[in-house]
Chains A and B, each alone.
Chain A
Amino acid sequence: MSFFFEVLIGGLLAGVMYSLVALGFVLIYKASGVFNFAQGAMVFFAALTFVGLQEKFGLPFWGAFVLALAAMVVLGILTERIVLRPLVNQPQITLFMATIGLAFFIEGLAQLIWGTNVRRLDLGIKDEPIPFLLERFDMALSGFDLIAAVVAGVLVTVLAVFFQVTRVGRALRAVADDHQAALAVGIPLKQIWAIVWSVAGFVALIAGLMWGARNGVQFALTFVALKALPVLIIGGFESVTGAIVGGLIIGASEKLAEIYGVPFLEWLVRMLFNISLTLGGIELWFAYVMALLFLLIRPEGLFGEKRIDRV
């Protein structure tokens, strides 16, 4: 039983990492209705810039962090200015395809500037089981995962406060509700969008640091970001809570499926077709198929808003 909980908690904590990426998507979707496919590329860009600055100029942690953040803000503002502003009022699908283009552009740019090598990112957090839990409950849980969970928690709290209390946050929510009404009461739409993209850049930087410290800073980071898509589908595109809960669900079920689902699948195949197969690696697609099934039952996600079509 303790093994089951170990897998479950490990999965939940891994899910937190997905949530970190998914948060960036939600932010932009809420404020501008754009499904930003480039969020993964932004995570990659942020992490690579951070590591590159540390490597090339020997900057300390905070120096590199501030400069990388500045780079993300500039990227956000440029995106708003060059890509989004000319595409205002285009169908959502066009904007989505534009962000696919943006993703390619950012990936190319990041590697052109900083090179294609896999980099190690050291945040000074050990990625090994916590001895106390190992001895006491016989559970191998990484301290890194726990810290990631704390970071995600802090990030969500900060964002929640930012959205609920500050003036800019209120303006953001107004824009999310209704662009035209927001414009009518004098909220500067363009500035708001630039701010949202910058905040998403900040979230991308945090996610990039966490993922980079775990897996190394490499191109594969962009694939991790793809995993955030099923998270969003399950959680709903408009909800910060949804991003967190969706991340947890995906993380946990993915790990459980890999441990318990694979033997079951293999047994099923043996029973049905009388052939024995090794079917490891279902982590690759499990999240997507789960999202697909989920969509059939509840297309707007757990916390999303129901859409009503009108002719």
Chain B
Amino acid sequence: MFYREAGQFKTTYAADQALFPIRQDRYAMLAIVAIAFVGIPLFSSNYWLTALLIPFLVFSLASLGLNILTGYAGQLSLGTAAFMAVGAVAAYNFQLRIPGMPILLSFVLGGGTAALVGILFGLPSLRIKGFYLAVATLAAQFFIPWLVTKVGWFSNYSASGVITAQPIVIFGQALDTPREKYLLVLCIVALMALLAKNLVRSRIGRAWMAVRDMDVAAEVIGIRILRTKLIAFAVSSFYCGVAGALYAFAYLGSVEPDGFNLDLSFRILFMVIVGGVGSILGSFLGAAFITLMPILLDVLLTAGSHAFNLNLEPGVTSMMQLLVFGALIIFFLIVEPHGLARLWQITKEKLRLWPFPY
């Protein structure tokens, strides 16, 4: 009744190509943007911002990056965290080595460095596919943190290997409260999500999907496979690199090579699977789900153990997390391979007919 496009006529090509062709969608999007930019900073506490919202946004960006590579271009990668590490370390070094470097430019250059490294590790993708490629990306996952740890120059010869990230200063204004950091991250993520949304429906995005669906057929109709795959690797790594820089600068406040481990890569892969492979919205839904799930589980377990007077061992929560993560992945792959994004789509279709489905 409320969600129906009847009567909304498109009279120009621009209207026909709009990102959100239905008016209700546009209003909903505006509302979400308003809440994210105004409502949340006004009404949420520092704990919520630092412990939930900033990591959520950073992980959204990283899973957006992985989704471009895996969901749109069909190249499975297990090295996401390594590309994040490249972005973080590169941004740190650009800040450190070049005096007067604007921090935003450092983030961009960090992403650019990650993109170059991504292209390097994407080169084998021309010859290999599927899980062969997944194993190849494991090389990046193990090699890059090792290199960063071993070569002292990257960490400016810090003894512990943990580097304190520089403070974020934009136009002489230091952003040190969680609220300001949140807004910075939000701006970057919103901008890059908009870019990604447009990218995947452009010529290059369509080429990615053609390669994903059947690369031989794509080649036959004249898509240059190597270039398409390498661009996918570059764009994806750029997103991951910026996410890594934000992870280090805005979330942790330190650059720790060991933090960018295989576990993080898997977590981001899970976000993509749960959220929806090949969906921009899905990256956000998946990131929200995987960020919130451990907290929810923790609360439930604590409440449960109080209610039944159980004495849980300290490790139980993290074990339960592994268990639930694994079960969820299998559940989603079996029941809804397109993830939460597809569920949302189904809801929308139902909503269009409501209350008189025929």
Contacts and interface: CB of A to CB of B under 8 A. Distances in A.
Residues of A contacting B: mostly? helix
Nearest to A233: B135
Interface string B120-132: 0001100110111
A222 B16 CA distance: 52
B294 to A, nearest CB: 13
B150 A295 contact: no
Interface string B314-325: 011001111111
B131 A104 contact: no
B151 A282 contact: no
Contacts of B3: none
Nearest to B215: A309
Interface stretch (A8-16, A109-117, A126-134): A109-117
Interface stretch (B50-58, B192-200, B246-254, B330-338): B330-338
Interface string A129-161: 000000000000000000000000000000000
Nearest to A282: B146
Contacts of A277: 150-152
Contacts of A83: 330, 334
Contacts of A280: 150
Interface residues of B, number: 49
Interface stretch (A90-98, A182-190, A209-217, A240-248): A90-98
B142 A96 contact: no
Contact of A93 (B130, B262, B327, B334): B130
Contacts of B136: 288, 291-292, 295
B14 interface: no
A288 B142 contact: yes
Interface in A276-311: 277-282, 284-285, 288-289, 291-292, 295-296, 299, 309-311
B273 interface: yes
Contacts, number: 136
A86 B331 CA distance: 10
Contacts of B151: 277
Contacts of A86: 334
Given A101-B328, A101-B333, A102-B330, A92 B130 contact: yes
Contacts of B337: 90, 94
A192 B37 CA distance: 57
B122 to A, nearest CB: 11
Contacts of A232: 135
A159 to B, nearest CB: 23
A279 B329 CA distance: 38
Contact of A98 (B134, B142, B320, B330): B330
Nearest to B335: A86
A309 B325 contact: no
A206 B153 CA distance: 44
Q: Name which of A104, A284, A295 has the most chain B CB atoms within 10 A of its CB.
A: A104
A20 to B, nearest CB: 19
A288 B142 CA distance: 8
Contacts of A299: 127-128, 132
Given A97-B333, A108-B321, A108-B322, A288 B216 contact: no
Contacts of A230: 135
Nearest to A269: B151
Nearest to B315: A116
B263 to A, nearest CB: 10
Contact of B139 (A93, A111, A289): A289
B32 interface: no
Contacts of B134: 96
Contacts of A168: none
A115 B143 CA distance: 31
A204 interface: no
Q: Name which of B220, B313, B322 has the most chain A CB atoms within 10 A of its CB.
A: B322
Contact of B138 (A90, A96, A101, A226): A226
A288 B143 contact: yes
Given A278-B150, A285-B146, A103 B326 contact: yes
A72 B307 CA distance: 34
A309 B319 CA distance: 42
Contacts of A103: 326
Given A35-B131, A87-B334, A101 B325 contact: yes
Contacts of B330: 82-83, 98, 101-102, 105
A121 to B, nearest CB: 20
A35 B215 CA distance: 21
A93 B73 CA distance: 13
Interface string B324-358: 11111110011001000000000000000000000
A80 interface: no
B124 A292 contact: yes
Interface in B2-57: none
A270 to B, nearest CB: 13
A277 B124 CA distance: 29
B217 interface: yes
Contacts of A109: 323
B131 A96 contact: yes
A226 B137 CA distance: 13
B70 to A, nearest CB: 9
List the 4 shortest-distance A-B pairs measured between CB atoms, nearest first: A101-B329, A105-B326, A108-B322, A104-B326
Given A100-B329, A111-B315, 16 more contacts: A35-B130, A90-B333, A92-B130, A93-B74, A96-B134, A101-B325, A101-B326, A101-B328, A101-B329, A104-B325, A105-B322, A105-B325, A108-B320, A108-B321, A109-B323, A310-B216
19 contacts: A35-B130, A86-B334, A87-B333, A97-B333, A102-B326, A103-B326, A104-B322, A104-B329, A107-B322, A108-B320, A108-B324, A111-B319, A233-B132, A277-B152, A278-B150, A280-B150, A288-B143, A295-B127, A311-B214
